[in-house]
Chains A and B, each alone.
Chain A
Amino acid sequence: MTKINLIKNIFNMFPESMTISGEKKISHLKWLGEKISTPENRLIMGVTALASQPCIDYYNGDVDSDTRKVSCARTAAKIIAGTITGVTIRYASIALIKRLSRLPQNGKTLKPIEKLFTPKSADADLINSSRVEETMYNDYRKTLGTGLGLLVMMYTNFALDVPLTRYFTKLFLNRGQKSDKGGSK
């Protein structure tokens, strides 16, 4: 109840009517809704994280300077490793699910494996004829693909992220130490 009231209160703060009129703005929004999904979102998160989090750690006044340096290097390494594996696995999982959830086109018969994840209620004619319905069907495929990706990442989080994070952290710490020595000469 409180939650609804909070949203209602914020909702009431907005003007009565807001209209987006620019053609470009409208087509950008359309593009966002159709094209951006979990891999792109993970990439955006990774890039913005790299721009913000190491800085937050480096300027954290609550800890000593050595801690700040290690924390900054570790955070940057973690973000780079996590983004590389996260984006790659999400893309691969969604691509795999797309291959396993095809819809019949032009009367062609599909192999059972090609429609393994195709829901029975998916109307092939409707989806093939409407861009909005096609986008909606792709949303379902992306959901399944992302779910599969998360399961895979339960394993790769340790098998790939850990060694990559360790490698990048050592690299950044060594670079930092070299530049510190260079600066003190």
Chain B
Amino acid sequence: MNPLKSIEKAFESFKEVLFEKYKGDPAKIMIHAGTLGWILSSAAQLWNVATSDKFTSNEKKFLIPQETMDAVVNIAFFYLLTNNCKKLSDKLVSTGKLLSKPLREYVKAHPIAECKLGDFNTNLKDFYDSDKEFYDKFHQFKNGVNMAVNTVACVVASNILAPVVRNKIASYIQKDAILDEKSHLQTAPKNILPMRNGVNMNDYMRNSLAKSGINSGIKI
């Protein structure tokens, strides 16, 4: 087969898959793009620390686990919280538990015996989606609710929960490093400078900033 043809075919399939998967679900785009953003920025951050010759191997021993921990916390909090909140808001609307007044009136005016409003397994789309009047209002409302819930979840996950947990972990690592440093100073001969001179989080921040300018959890 002509390689150009197969590339063209793969490109067409790529567009079709994206179109089918993401059309009409803006909240899903935000969750996937946000998670991918965290993964890419964390990977770039780790790669930069691991391959940089500006850090000594001892500094790397400290920085790489810290960066990895940051990445895990950021990605896990973001994905788990936003994805589960979206699933919940999807369920609330699709089962008819949460509806706008016009949609509630529409469903009341067009009752279907099998459609049990508020039941976890009900999906209003299965019963009413063929009706254009319902379809437009339902999708607009569902996307709006999802976006509102998702925006709040993104803010809580990335700006409140993740930094608090990161700080706790960083302070634990800092205390551990200082204890390690103190024991090193006590045992080292006086004429030999300690390997990590006066290590604390402040120095690490200043040093890493001066050397590379990168920061933990920088987000793209």
| Interface residues of A, Cβ cutoff 8 Å to B | 3, 6-8, 10-12, 14-21, 26, 28-34, 36-38, 41, 44-45, 48-49, 52-53, 56-57, 60, 62-64, 66-67, 70-71, 74-75, 78, 82, 85-86, 117-122, 130-132, 135-137, 139-140, 142-144, 146-147, 150, 153-154, 156-158, 161-163, 165-166, 169
Contact = CB atoms under 8 A, between A and B. Distances in A.
A17 B145 CA distance: 15
The CB with the most chain B CB atoms within 10 A, among A33, A38, A66, A122, is that of: A33
> Which 6 residue pairs spanning A and B have beta carbons closest together?
A29-B144, A33-B143, A62-B171, A33-B144, A153-B220, A162-B213
The CB with the most chain B CB atoms within 10 A, among A6, A29, A70, A120, is that of: A29
The CB with the most chain B CB atoms within 10 A, among A20, A52, A121, is that of: A20
B26 interface: yes
Contacts of B91: 7, 11
Contact of A57 (B24, B145, B163): B163
A143 B18 contact: yes
Contact of A41 (B151, B175, B200): B151
Nearest to A12: B120
Contacts of A31: 144
B40 interface: yes
Given A82-B219, A154-B40, A165-B213, A37 B205 contact: no
Interface stretch (B62-70, B98-106, B187-195): B98-106
Contact of A30 (B18, B36, B144): B144
Given A7-B91, A67-B202, A153-B37, A74 B171 contact: no
Nearest to B206: A70
A135 to B, nearest CB: 8
Interface string B151-193: 1001100111001100110110011000000000000000000
Nearest to A82: B219
A162 B215 CA distance: 8
Nearest to B24: A136
Nearest to A120: B12
Contacts of A16: 97, 118
B29 A142 contact: yes
Contacts of B141: 26, 29-30, 33
